[in-house]
Chains A and B, each alone.
Chain A
């Protein structure tokens, strides 16, 4: 209540005036995200040992100058595999996020803009989708359509649609209470154009925040799929797969494979979640 009061004093100058603590300089978070992105793009090329040549004589080596993180059960350099595995570990969740965000936003905006029976129908459909837990659906899809990531990616994309749709829909409805959208309708612009050029850009920050959070969930779920052996095959440098195959090495006193692959997953998920909550906070500040 008092916070709104201070904004009242200088509404003229724009809301950003009293918002000090939220514009922090881009820091460790940005650095981490950048590193992950670079790994995904250039990983296989930067890896000193490629995806790891099999050399059974070098199996289960401790970390050294040659092998930064040591070697795995097949003598492959773990560090190189982490680097080259970034691509498949990060791209699949990205695909899930993009599909879920696109379809979720589409459903949300169409529902919010049209209201009425369209909103009701989509609402029911989304409610049904809500009842499917992502991971179980993915496992089911793998069971039906075979292993490999395609089935899992599609299943997860569908399962995540309702989360994004719900939030984007309420953000859209909230945006629609401002007269400017109605004013544009009055001008005779088509609903499609208004949504695309005016509504969407103004809820974009909300979509971005949700997408970031979805990415985190997708990463974890896909890592689990891979860990269970339902995803990519055991030789691929996918991080989830590596956590699984690193299990046996732990008993031999060589936890590096599972550890570093797991760490990579955790760091990526945390970084993206932090990005998501930062975006969410920025989005809610815009609303005031």
Chain B
């Protein structure tokens, strides 16, 4: 029986518009859980609220109301200070979409990892730290030479792997991937997905995978939440949602994936009908 690591209940977040009017309800009554070693996919298009939900979970946004419990600790705090974030960082970490902006351009990968390890695990000796750095690089399949490089010298895929290594430096229980493979070439994406699967097998880390790509969901997720307009419109195991979707929107998403015999015309008509 897997331990329940994350519980999110009735999450709600509004963004104020400019000039006080036109406020936008980004997340409306969202609830879900994540267990140890589980991969949950949060699927949705732009405006679905999946990114805001994830940001609330890791503490980058403060929700208006609702419950977020991670590893037994409540996270809905008005203004989390650095010490609180530090504690949270040991539980949840995030990998961002843009491989070109996720790393400090002036630090080598090694230096960045050393800084994080020293910060979160200050008790380690410098030798242990070096060993941990080597371990992390190995986990994401980066060579020693790449570890000693600056981001400038690395490709998009390599940078994302470095970002994943950084996220793992704190040994978190949950890794949030915010469209982390979307900006990568197809063959590179495959590499990263394999790396992630390997990491999960080895460390039992849980994933919260934000994506709009359903094929990726099939490959990496155990369960799926489909979001639209700030709400969860469908949820279930990957197999049930992708093979037997219940909602019109989920069906639409599935049919929007180009495959053999794809007819965008039909999809288009469907979408027009579904948009109120």
Contacts and interface: CB of A to CB of B under 8 A. Distances in A.
A touches B in complex, CB < 8 A: yes
Contacts of A179: 96, 98, 101-102
Nearest to B176: A186
Contacts of A182: 60, 96
A15 B119 CA distance: 31
| Central interface residue in A15, A16, A198, by most chain B CB within 10 Å | A198
Nearest to A191: B82
Contacts of B120: 187
A180 B96 CA distance: 9
B68 to A, nearest CB: 15
Interface in A167-214: 177-180, 182-191, 198, 201-202
A263 interface: no
A186 to B, nearest CB: 6
Contact of B152 (A14, A177, A183): A14
B94 A183 contact: yes
Interface stretch (B21-29, B103-111, B224-232, B246-254): B103-111
B101 A186 contact: no
Contact of B86 (A188, A201, A286): A188
- How many A residues touch the partner, as a band? 20 to 34
A186 B82 contact: no
A187 B116 contact: yes
Interface residues of B, number: 33
A202 B86 contact: no
Contacts of B96: 179, 182-183
B102 A180 contact: yes
B156 A11 contact: yes
A186 B60 contact: yes
B89 interface: yes
Contacts, number: 67
Nearest to A185: B85
Interface in A46-91: none
Nearest to A192: B82
A189 B81 CA distance: 10
Contact of B85 (A11, A14, A15, A188): A188
A186 B152 contact: no
Contact of A186 (B85, B103, B156): B85
B83 interface: yes
| Central interface residue in A183, A189, A190, by most chain B CB within 10 Å | A183
A15 B152 contact: yes
Nearest to B82: A190
B207 interface: no
22 contacts: A12-B154, A14-B152, A16-B152, A177-B101, A178-B101, A179-B96, A180-B103, A182-B60, A183-B94, A183-B102, A183-B166, A186-B94, A188-B82, A188-B83, A188-B85, A188-B86, A188-B87, A188-B88, A189-B119, A198-B104, A202-B105, A202-B106
Given A180-B104, A198-B104, A201-B106, 16 more contacts: A12-B156, A178-B102, A179-B101, A180-B103, A182-B60, A182-B96, A183-B94, A185-B85, A186-B58, A187-B170, A188-B83, A188-B86, A188-B119, A189-B86, A190-B82, A191-B82
